[in-house]
């Protein structure tokens, strides 16, 4: 049987284009007709609603991906999901969703925010524009007066202007003041691929990386964004940034470090807890995302660790595939190749639990894996209870002591 020809369209000019170009049997779509489209979010917005999608075609976003990737909507959906769980199952179950920092959308929730702000005097907050990325427009503050300029600006707008500026809303979020440090502050970028929302089918990528700040962490200088924001877009503007040394560790390196320092068991628990973050956050939008068999989504999760272990900062629907070093390029190349293999399913039976670096994490329920070893495990070892209950042995472990915040 001859190899099938797939006509692809690609809206990005980086690693993904290289991967598509080198895929055997895949050719760039010459006219408007395509079988596979890796498009930008702008393309999706402009075209999706007016396009007829043939039965077999695939596209790399769900129509309303922003329900998870816009900072305010993510929190809104998680809060609602938590409330529903509390009502339907109970408090313990609901507390499994307590992995996002206390967050308010401004200006609409300003009075609620002020109430919370006053309840914990002296704490640090972070303001982030809901629809921007790469650290743009972010600042830290400790006093209400520090956000007065922003508030004044908003107050002087007419209602119409406010509507037009809706996309420029902010979230005020509690700043995680005691991040887990490896000399520097870092956060984790983890990739999760969703191939269907109903039923939910999600794959977790074993590789990923930690993004370090270049500057030693201290809460005394809250104006130094190089210190507090660990995303690469910010770090590479630092004067002493070295792209080859970079400010990244691959996930395996981080695993090794943490294992040496805290032991295997704790590292397994950490990664298992992150699975909980991924699955619960996807479940929180499961009924809201417009499920469409043509669509898949490769999310980039940003996770911050502290003594409570894991905090979800945000979910990117369009994570950067631009590479900061050769190692980074190779990792992203493999990630995208494996993503296409999962989505394409050419030569696969559909029953696989592992494809390249991907482990099937959720398939309308937890996925049981028998062949998990520490080297390969990125935590997909759900068992009936482990993702719901706190394991007793964990209680002995130092920075696992607090089961869940809140």
Ligand X SMILES: Nc1ncnc2c1ncn2[C@@H]1O[C@H](COP(=O)(O)OP(=O)(O)OP(=O)(O)O)[C@@H](O)[C@H]1O
Query: Residues interacting with ligand X, by CB under 6 A?
Result: 101, 126, 128, 132-136, 138, 173, 175-176, 187, 229-231, 233, 302, 304, 313-314, 316
| Beta carbon nearer to ligand X, 12 or 345 | 12
| Beta carbon nearer to ligand X, 251 or 343 | 251
9-26 per-residue burial string, b: 16 or more CB within 10 A, e: under 16: bbebeebbbbbbeebeeb
| Beta carbon nearer to ligand X, 44 or 126 | 126
The least CB distance from residue 315 to ligand X, in Å, is 9
| Beta carbon nearer to ligand X, 9 or 128 | 128
The least CB distance from residue 114 to ligand X, in Å, is 18
The least CB distance from residue 16 to ligand X, in Å, is 17
| Beta carbon nearer to ligand X, 324 or 380 | 324
| Beta carbon nearer to ligand X, 202 or 313 | 313
| Beta carbon nearer to ligand X, 133 or 325 | 133
The least CB distance from residue 106 to ligand X, in Å, is 15
The least CB distance from residue 213 to ligand X, in Å, is 7
The least CB distance from residue 156 to ligand X, in Å, is 26
Cα gap 276→96, rounded to integer Å: 8
| Beta carbon nearer to ligand X, 23 or 65 | 65
Contact of 301 with 189, CB cutoff 8 Å: yes
Which residue in the shown chain puts its C-beta closest to ligand X? 133
The least CB distance from residue 254 to ligand X, in Å, is 15
The least CB distance from residue 247 to ligand X, in Å, is 11
């Amino acid at each position: 049987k001859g190899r099938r020809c797939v006509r692809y369209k690609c809206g990005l000019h980086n690693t993904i284009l290289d991967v598509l170009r080198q895929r055997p049997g895949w050719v760039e779509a010459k006219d408007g007709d395509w079988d596979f489209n890796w498009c930008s979010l702008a393309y999706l917005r402009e075209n999706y609603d007016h396009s007829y999608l043939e039965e077999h075609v695939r596209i790399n976003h769900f129509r309303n991906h922003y329900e998870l990737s816009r900072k305010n909507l993510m929190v809104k959906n998680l809060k609602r999901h938590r409330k529903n769980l509390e009502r339907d199952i109970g408090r313990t179950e609901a507390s499994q969703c307590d992995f996002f920092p206390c967050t308010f959308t401004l200006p609409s929730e300003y009075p609620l925010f002020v109430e919370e702000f006053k309840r914990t005097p002296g704490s640090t907050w972070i303001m982030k524009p809901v629809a921007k990325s790469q650290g743009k427009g972010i600042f830290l503050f400790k006093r209400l007066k520090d956000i007065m300029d922003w508030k004044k600006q908003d107050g002087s707008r007419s209602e119409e202007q406010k509507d037009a500026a809706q996309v420029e809303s902010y979230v005020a979020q509690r700043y995680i003041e005691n991040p887990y440090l490896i000399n520097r502050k870092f956060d984790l970028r983890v990739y999760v691929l969703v191939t269907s929302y109903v039923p939910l089918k999600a794959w977790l990528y074993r590789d990923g990386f930690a993004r370090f700040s270049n500057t030693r962490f201290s809460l005394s200088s809250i104006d130094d964004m190089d210190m507090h924001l660990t995303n690469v877009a910010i770090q590479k503007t630092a004067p002493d940034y070295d792209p080859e040394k970079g400010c990244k560790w691959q996930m395996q390196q981080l695993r090794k470090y943490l294992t040496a320092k805290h032991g295997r068991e704790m590292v397994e628990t950490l990664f298992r807890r992150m699975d909980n973050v991924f699955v619960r956050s996807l479940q929180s939008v499961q009924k809201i995302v417009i499920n469409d068999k043509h669509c898949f989504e490769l999310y980039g999760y940003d996770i911050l660790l502290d003594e409570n272990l894991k905090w979800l900062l945000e979910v990117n629907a369009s994570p950067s595939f631009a590479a900061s070093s050769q190692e980074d390029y190779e990792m992203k190349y493999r990630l995208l190749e494996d993503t296409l293999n999962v989505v394409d399913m050419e030569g696969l039976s559909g029953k696989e639990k592992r494809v390249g670096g991907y482990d099937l994490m959720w398939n309308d329920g937890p996925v049981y894996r028998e062949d998990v070893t520490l080297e390969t495990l990125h935590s997909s070892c759900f068992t009936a209870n482990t993702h719901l209950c706190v394991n007793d042995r964990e209680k002995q472990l130092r920075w696992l002591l607090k089961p869940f915040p809140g």
